[in-house]
Chain A
Amino acid sequence: MNTESFEIKAYPEMWKDLGMDVERFDKMRLMLGEIYCKTYLTQKNRPARMAYFDEMIAEIHGGRIKELLAAKAEGHPVIGTFCVYIPEEVVLAAGGICVGLCGGSQGSIPDAETILPRNICPMVKSAFGFKVGRVCPYMQVVDFVYGETTCDAKKKTWEILDTMVPTYVMEIPQMKKQSDREMWLHEVKEFKAKIEEVSGKEVTVEGLNEAVKVMNSKRRALQRLNTLRHTHPTPISGKDVLLVEQIAFYDEPVRFAAKVNDLCDELEKRIADGEAVPAKDAIRIMVAGVPMALPNWKLHHLVEGAGAVIVNEESCIGTRYYKDLMDEDGKDMETILADLTKRYMNIDCSCFTPNDERIDQVLKEFRESQADGIIHYSLQFCHTYNIEEIRIREACIKEGIPYMFIESDYSPEDVGQIQTRVEAFLEQIHG
């Protein structure tokens, strides 16, 4: 796809029906299209099968919304999510659809700041601002929003968001003791009752096993993609893989898995042909830390613009979402839900204490990805990741891994400083 012909398609009438601020949203659409062209379509030697994902961006505010509206008309509820703790298997088994809500844009933050305090996480503000400004079609389509208690900014924002869109909150424990696991199993059961009530469809053992297969296939496809990009030299840019990981949160899961596998087939061929992106001797960087929600491509763009390549995202929009699978043929509901609880409790979010598993996981992914260094990326005011960074840094120093910490938000004002730091980090690795 060339940069001239790309645009994010406009659906003003549908947006109007969804109660959106059409005029303003249309400007945001043009801006997003421009940023996408600049960030993505100027890349050289992209895999041809990224075309599907380009199309998913072109139709992000149209084609996919139409599909969701059609599904809703057939009685499938749509649940807006913010976190990888959403038990997606349960939602699918009840005939529901999960969509990750927008939360990576500076554009909606001024809307949020008309209500919320300024000194909180930009992701929470961005997502909340999309509802306040009526500038996210996904936010308008959902039957309810799934919230959780992984941080203080989120859990208190849900109370306010609930006055604008129904918001269901699941309690995520902060420790992983037996009592916490039991509490979370109980939360899963309550959530199952909630989704059954909204969809009017009972979650059965067969249905749940089927949903587990769908989710496992999707996660396996992402695992395959991640393993392939770990090849030295890598056949795909970090930006492109991040895009696929971001689209994972709003695409239809069966089709998405098939498209990711198609892309993987192409990458296997590229590897066999020795085709590398960008240069064979590019410095390889692994990113660890907080999720980079669409369209937060800031760090990847800077790192790859400086001639390096990102080869792994240890993040919720990254391995944390797909590293763990579930057993596919659970005998009864109790066994499946226990297995589900176990799977989700393996997620090593920094909201847990202690969280030693994450340090091991970062080191494991560093070795697997054959990276030359780690950049820990955190959003401003994300206390748990910002503090856990200390332990990640200590582990990297101990292992002799080149390491840098970047704390940022969605605004462009620190791009100059971050660029200097990234380039200096690459110089340091290069020696």
Chain B
Amino acid sequence: MDKTQEAEKKMFVGVDLGSRAIKIAAWQEGKMVDFKIRESGFEPHRQVQEMIKEYEPCSVVATGYGRHLVKEYFAYEVITEIKAHGLGVHAVLPEATTVVDIGGQDSKVISLDGRGQVVNFQMNDKCAAGTGRFLEIMAASLAYPLSEFGPAALESDQEVQINSMCTVFAESEVISLKNRGIPRQHIARAVQASVADRILSMLNRVGYGDTIAFSGGVANNPCIVEMVRRRLDNVQVIVPDNPSIIGALGASIQAGRAR
């Protein structure tokens, strides 16, 4: 094996230590060869260490809320989730110039140039409005497992309005709608419509191209994706396979670049 071939065989790992889950992507010979997702739990850096051991990576790049913690222990470099999602989306959907990424505790709209570089972005501030955490709490207050929350809402055809995006106030709204006897799938739909409206307002602030990639854990919710689609004319909204690992994928690509 000559030197270039050896370099190509090298394994690069991206770690996305998010608020709710740890995502790992392994990158080799210019493609993703494996990935893992696990709940963050306690002492996440130890879990990460255990999760990546088998790859014997020659370089690790970390992203997500715990990126600096990972760096302290073993990462070569850190990049933000914003850059990571840009790189990840560009690798799997190069035609997308806009990324909607909604994770456990924040939501972002990222605008990319043709090379996948970030040219502009918007991110929520300290409040959890419209994030995965918001959906979790709303699903729980309507007694849905998270995985059924989206599909159930898709079955509703009735327009009910949730006005507040604040997790605390929206929960009181949900409770008062429940107590008016409104079926829960209608309320579920209203909650998800309010998240879609918020995504739209962020998209309008940043501006968007004709192909939008929807990444992050919330892209697994078919109702929100559908509602975002319905709110946009002549725009393709594409959810990549395994949308929650896009950040880790971007980090693994960066790991390959850095070395």
A binding-site residues for B, Cβ under 8 Å: 407-408, 413-414, 416-417, 420-421, 423-424, 427-428, 431
Contacts and interface: CB of A to CB of B under 8 A. Distances in A.
Given A416-B65, A417-B106, A424 B118 contact: yes
28 contacts: A408-B125, A413-B126, A414-B125, A414-B126, A416-B65, A417-B106, A417-B123, A417-B125, A417-B126, A420-B106, A420-B123, A421-B123, A423-B78, A423-B80, A424-B81, A424-B118, A424-B121, A424-B123, A427-B79, A427-B80, A427-B82, A427-B83, A427-B118, A428-B117, A428-B118, A428-B119, A428-B120, A428-B121
Contacts of A414: 125-126
A409 B78 CA distance: 27
Interface in B115-135: 117-121, 123-126
Contacts of A423: 78, 80
Interface string B73-98: 00000111111000000000000000
A423 B83 CA distance: 10
B126 A420 contact: no
A420 B81 contact: yes
A258 to B, nearest CB: 41
B44 to A, nearest CB: 14
A27 B120 CA distance: 43
Contacts of B119: 428
Contacts of A428: 117-121
Nearest to B81: A420
Interface residues of B, number: 17
Contacts of A424: 80-83, 118, 121, 123
A65 B125 CA distance: 39
Interface string B227-259: 000000000000000000000000000000000
A113 to B, nearest CB: 18
A408 B78 CA distance: 25
Nearest to A407: B125
A109 to B, nearest CB: 15
A428 B117 CA distance: 8
Contacts of A417: 106, 123-126
Nearest to A409: B126
A420 B106 CA distance: 11
B117 A431 contact: yes
A420 B81 CA distance: 8
Contacts of B81: 420, 424
A375 to B, nearest CB: 14
A223 to B, nearest CB: 34
A431 B83 CA distance: 10
B24 to A, nearest CB: 20
B22 to A, nearest CB: 17
Closest CB pairs A-B (n = 9): A414-B126, A424-B82, A424-B80, A423-B80, A427-B83, A428-B118, A413-B126, A420-B80, A421-B123
B105 to A, nearest CB: 8
Contacts of B124: 417
A393 to B, nearest CB: 10
A319 to B, nearest CB: 27
Interface in B122-151: 123-126
Contacts of B80: 420, 423-424, 427
B227 to A, nearest CB: 25
Nearest to B83: A427
Nearest to B63: A420
A239 B125 CA distance: 24
Contacts of A416: 65
A370 B200 CA distance: 36
Best-buried of B79, B80, B82, B118 by chain A (most CB within 10 Å): B80
Nearest to A414: B126
A408 B124 CA distance: 12
Nearest to A411: B126
> Which of A407, A413, A424: most chain B Cβ within 10 A?
A424
B131 to A, nearest CB: 11
Contact of B82 (A407, A413, A420, A431): A420
Contacts of A407: 125
Nearest to A428: B118
